[in-house]
Amino acid sequence: MAGTSARRPVVVAMSGGVDSSVAAAILLEQGYEVIGVTMCLLRDMQEDSSGGCCSLETIEDAKRVASKLRIRHMVVPMQDIFRETVIEDFVSEYKRGRTPNPCVRCNEFVKFDALLNWALTVGADKIATGHYARVAQNEETGRWLLLRGASKSKDQSYALYRLTQEQLARTLFPVGEKSKPEIRQMAAELGLLVADKPDSQEICFVPDKDYRGFLAKVAPELVQPGPIIDVSGKTLGEHKGIAFFTIGQRKRLGIATGKPTYVVRIDHRTNTVVVGTDADLFASKLVAENINMISIESLPATLAVTSKIRYNASNSAAVVRSLGDDSAEVVFDEPQRAITPGQAVVWYHDDVVVGGGVIVPQEEPCSLD
């Protein structure tokens, strides 16, 4: 399979899945010289597909696809940067009572930073991934834009909101204009063995989908018992570690209240888990830090947007107010359920990603009875 004219080389991050495989095929058809690269992220790679993009099967599947497409394939070691920026942050955030998003971190520091820099050193002009998102350029301002994927049901722009202007200028998303069924059909027509391969849904470096067991193993200091209290401060029981809880959680609380009970707040300062009713989960505002703006250079005093507080959340109208110091307050038109510190809040104008930041905890003291 070959295009009609040679272009500068493009490094395609091949995860062994159908999306990145078809991304490579699309670029090849468009005339690019394609170099398939699979990042080796763990020192002890897992044997089967339960490891997602960190498994040995990932490498073998990517190699088979590259062979079928007749493109070069390389395995690039990224264990150190992945450990330092993703795994260590994952543990650190849970220590702080937050729920991190490792995919956002991996995109920011590994795929679109470390891998892009590596690609430039081998003579490539751009990198490409199988994300369902799009890149465009504003002709008036010259700024590079990140857009939602054309298929709204598969849009992955939320996890890419950390990308910079320099990174977007050198990034291609070949599958961003298509739907998942279209990509699977293309893979089947190309004879790719990954055409029906299931999507990876879990944290790639956590064996057996057991993040609690992973945390207990790599950071046993997280297993520190503490009180479970209700919103009035009444002690209801004891937990085994705040890292094992997240906002909105209902199962595995280890207490009996006779009614539906949810985690509504986690205070790492007092090692306390606060629980309440479903109504207690709703809030009309949040504060975000570590802001990254894409469609505009900086955040104005106020900005009307639609906003998402997690990957699978619906869009909600909101106003963003700059707080200075790289932080902002987001006030929603309608209260939002289970706003979770550590997750990203991402702002949109229609299909364009305006920017976003990391949700920080509510600064409310926990009083113990």
pLDDT at 51: 47
pLDDT at 50: 45
pLDDT at 349: 98
Q: Is 48 exposed, middle or buried (0-12, 13-18, 19+ CB in 10 A)?
A: exposed
Which member of 40, 53, 106, 366 is catalytic?
106
Q: DSSP letter at 222?
A: G
237-272 pLDDT, tens digit per residue, is 999 999 999 999 999 899 988 899 999 999 999 999
Which member of 53, 54, 204, 366 is catalytic?
204
pLDDT at 43: 77
pLDDT at 196: 93
pLDDT at 5: 46
pLDDT at 210: 87
Residues of the chain with pLDDT under 70: 1-6, 44-54, 201, 363-369
pTM for the model stands at 0.92
53 noted as active-site residue: no
Q: Which two structure tokens, joined as six digits, stand for 324?
A: 């200075």
pLDDT at 202: 72
47-97 pLDDT, tens digit per residue, is 444 445 667 888 999 999 999 999 999 999 999 999 999 999 999 999 999
Report which residue type is found at 270: T
DSSP for 233-248, written as a single string: S-EEEEES-GGG--TT
54 noted as active-site residue: no
pLDDT at 366: 42
